[in-house]
């Protein structure tokens, strides 16, 4: 009998990547629900779908991800990233569903200078990070059979992300200023989607918290440099500091994630961020 998999937030970039890869998994029956079709902040709406389908897995890609806007829309951010996640955790428990949830490097304050492990203490410095951490905590309180994947600097050929923004701006401007003092690991959403589907396919029961990102680290400036280099785009790219480029929400200065646990417990193969960027840019229409 086919395993049944619910994917929430299916129109986001990770949801789209899972949908694309799902064609290779004929042994799985996927139900894709956009945030409009399934509002996770409504318990009854979510319950009706769980009741109807009896899922083996729920991959929660639904999230409020507008980091700066969250500073003004705290209630909305927590409604989706915390309370909505709590609803899915309760339903996953009630319907014997394994929950796979996506979290973020932004649960950390960025004060370390070595990669963050799953056992490091979170200390978010913005509303978005705090709301995502609350969602994690609800899952850990309510469930035993779950996977939480913290990831970082997610991009793909879908949705809105840094890669697409840089490609767009390079057509509009001759000169770009990009922050050079925030360090992280750009991560291709399709690589994360592959990891999630591998866990499901293999019936992996090494439940718990995991970090997954592509290999290597860079700054946003370094990321932009590599995008333009690979696309052979001529633009005057200038490094700037977080101090000079003020945003409403504070960002962690260092948010590189340690992937050792994912490699060991899940058998994950970690691709380099530059190689994965190449794979994405080949498919990008920009």
Sign of the CA dihedral running 160, 164, 170, 175: positive
Q: Considering 116, 128, 158, 210, which one is annotated as catalytic?
A: 128
CA gap 130, 208 in Å, rounded:
20
Which residues make Cβ contacts (< 8 Å) with residue 149, sequence separation at least 6? 100, 101, 102, 103, 192, 195, 196, 210, 211, 212
Are 59 and 195 in contact by the 8 Å Cβ rule? The answer is no
116 counts as catalytic:
no
Residue 35: phi and psi, rounded to 5, are -65, -25
Q: Which of 231, 222, 239, 188 shows the shortest CA–CA distance to 13?
A: 188
Paired strand residues for 100: 59, 147
Q: What residues contact residue 211 under an 8 Å CB cut-off, 6+ apart?
A: 116, 117, 118, 149, 150, 151, 257, 258, 259, 261, 262
Where does residue 191 rank: exposed (0-12), middle (13-18), buried (19+ CB within 10 A)?
buried
Residues acting as catalytic residues = 128
């Amino acid at each position: 009998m086919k395993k049944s998999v619910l994917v929430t937030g299916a129109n986001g970039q990770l949801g789209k990547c899972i949908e694309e890869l799902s064609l290779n998994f004929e042994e799985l029956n996927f139900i894709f629900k956009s945030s409009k079709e399934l509002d996770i902040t409504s318990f009854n709406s979510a319950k009706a779908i769980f009741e109807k389908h009896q899922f083996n897995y729920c991959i929660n890609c639904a999230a409020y991800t507008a980091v700066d806007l969250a500073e003004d829309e705290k209630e909305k951010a927590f409604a989706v990233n915390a309370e909505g996640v709590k609803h899915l955790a309760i339903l996953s428990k009630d319907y014997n569903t394994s929950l796979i949830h996506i979290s973020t490097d932004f649960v950390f304050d960025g004060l370390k200078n070595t990669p963050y492990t799953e056992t490091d203490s979170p200390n978010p410095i913005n509303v978005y990070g705090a709301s995502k951490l609350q969602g994690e905590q609800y899952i850990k309180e309510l469930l035993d059979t779950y996977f939480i994947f913290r990831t970082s600097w997610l991009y793909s050929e879908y949705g809105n992300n840094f890669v697409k923004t840089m490609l767009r701006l390079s057509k509009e401007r001759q000169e770009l200023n990009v922050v050079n003092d925030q360090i992280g690991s750009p991560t291709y959403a399709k690589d994360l989607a592959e990891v999630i589907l591998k866990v499901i396919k293999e019936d992996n029961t090494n439940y718990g918290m995991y970090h997954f990102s592509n290999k290597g680290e860079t700054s946003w400036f370094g990321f932009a440099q590599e995008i333009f280099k690979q696309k052979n785009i001529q633009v005057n790219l200038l490094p700037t500091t977080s101090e000079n480029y003020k945003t409403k929400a504070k960002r962690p200065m260092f948010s590189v994630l340690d992937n050792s646990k994912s490699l060991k417990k899940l058998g994950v193969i970690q691709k380099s961020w530059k190689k994965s960027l190449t794979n994405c840019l080949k498919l990008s229409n920009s």
